[in-house]
A = this chain, B = another copy of it.
Amino acid sequence: MPMDHLSTTFATLADPTRRAILARLALGEATVNELAAPFAMSLPAVSKHLKVLEHAGLITRGREAQWRPCRLEAGPLKDVSGWLEHYRRFWDDSFDRMAVYLNEIQTKGDPDGRKN
């Protein structure tokens, strides 16, 4: 029952409708109706998807009159990226150079120079 953060994120991303919504939001804020337009599905269904996305921390919602503009929040995606890094060496043959570069920008180039 208590779902960990990463599991929630992956489960949320497992639905193509929700990924399409994120893709739309990557272009900028949008209202529920705007987000629902491309889909052959009822508005409540989309509303539910948005609730799932919000619960996963992948979007936030504002209030402007009767509209609830949605905005992409990429924090959980960063976590996914971090998780993926543990496996990058299994597919990326230029992993070594990548690792070198990452280390480089994290110790020198990155403004706050964190290691993690």
Binding site for B on A (CB under 8 A): 4, 6-8, 10-11, 13-16, 19, 22-23, 26, 72, 74-75, 77-78, 80-81, 83-84, 86-88, 90-94, 97-98, 101, 105, 109-111
Q: Do B84 and A72 have beta carbons less than 8 Å apart?
A: no
From B14, B74, B81, B92, A10 is in contact (CB under 8 Å) with B14
Task: Say how many copies of this protein the assembly contains.
Answer: 2
Cβ-defined contact, A93 with B77, below 8 A: no
Closest Cβ of chain B to A50, distance in Å, is 17
How far, in Å, is A53 (CB) from chain B's closest CB? Answer: 13
Q: Would you list 19 pairs from A and B whose C-beta atoms are within 8 A, ordered by A residue? A: A4-B16, A7-B14, A7-B16, A7-B19, A10-B11, A11-B11, A11-B14, A14-B14, A23-B86, A26-B90, A72-B90, A74-B87, A74-B90, A77-B87, A77-B91, A94-B105, A97-B109, A98-B105, A101-B101
